[in-house]
């Protein structure tokens, strides 16, 4: 454990709480991609299958449970409790474009050809692209609510802090996880353009808006 890892986890947790709070207070999930949230729920499910078989620390176990619960509750609120406000017309990213290559890659590039290891690898690859339906939805509608942009910012910050965590661990422990690092870099790159818009618009009190696709 190091400061970058802890701050990354806090940022990740804050992002999920912001999203849940937004849905609960507004009684609406408009502007939120249900497909992205379903992918994140799948990420946590396949990654934390060792929850009851491999105890690392109390902190690790508690965080796993919290992330699982938050992701399941978010999906429940989008597709069941507040389904009438779900913007299905704009949440149209085709998930097979992500799931098929990610599944294939997890079988080809992994550390051990065992079910749990393949599913863990699958979760790492999938997390790197799970936000794409949300970004696609924003580009399609041309704008995003402020609270949604805060959610995306802290989600992106979590990945950036984890990159710092991996650099720190490489220099202090000589530890290097190629799959996690490469996937994390890819995911962070997806957020770069959003970070720029967040700093130049949202932090100045302006609404984030994008050019509508032609």
The pLDDT of residue 207 is: 66
3-state DSSP assignment of residue 91: coil
User: Rounded to a whole number, what is the distance in angstroms from the first to the last CA of the chain?
Assistant: 47
Nearest alpha-carbon partner for 121 in 107, 131, 134: 107
The residue ranking higher by pLDDT, 128 or 199, is: 128
Calculate ∠ Cα 16-79-208, nearest 5°: 50
Looking at residue 201, what is its pLDDT?
Answer: 66
Q: Which pLDDT tens digit goes with each residue over 63-72?
A: 999 999 999 9
Render pLDDT for 177-193 as a digit per residue (tens, 0 to 9).
Answer: 999 999 989 988 888 87
* 144 backbone dihedrals φ, ψ, rounded to 5°: -145, 145
Chain centroid offset of residue 21 CA:
17
For 130-178, what is each residue's pLDDT tens digit?
A: 999 998 998 888 777 877 888 999 999 999 999 999 999 999 999 989 9
Mean pLDDT value of segment 45-52: 93
pLDDT confidence tier of residue 213, bands split at 50, 70 and 90: very low
pLDDT tens sequence across 71-121: 999 999 999 999 999 999 999 999 999 999 999 999 999 999 999 999 999
Residue 200 predicted with pLDDT over 80: no
């Amino acid at each position: 454990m190091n400061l970058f890892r802890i701050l990354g986890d806090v940022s990740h947790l804050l992002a999920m709480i912001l999203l849940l709070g937004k849905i609960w207070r507004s009684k609406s999930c408009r502007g939120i991609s249900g497909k992205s949230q379903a992918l994140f729920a799948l990420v946590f499910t396949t990654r934390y299958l060792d929850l009851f078989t491999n105890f690392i620390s109390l902190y690790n176990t508690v965080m796993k449970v919290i992330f699982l619960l938050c992701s399941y509750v978010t999906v429940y609120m989008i597709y069941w409790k507040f389904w009438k406000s779900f913007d299905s017309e704009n949440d149209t990213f085709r998930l097979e474009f992500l799931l098929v290559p990610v599944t294939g890659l997890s079988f080809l590039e992994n550390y051990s050809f065992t079910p749990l290891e393949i599913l863990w690898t699958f979760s790492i690859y999938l997390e790197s692209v799970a936000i794409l339906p949300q970004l696609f939805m924003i580009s399609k509608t041309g704008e995003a609510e402020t609270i949604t942009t805060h959610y995306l910012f802290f989600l992106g910050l979590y990945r950036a802090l984890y990159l710092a965590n991996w650099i720190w661990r490489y220099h202090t422990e000589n530890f290097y996880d190629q799959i996690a690092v490469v996937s994390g870099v890819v995911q962070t790159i997806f957020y770069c353009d959003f970070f720029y818009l967040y700093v130049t618009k949202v932090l100045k009190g302006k609404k984030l808006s994008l050019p509508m696709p032609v």
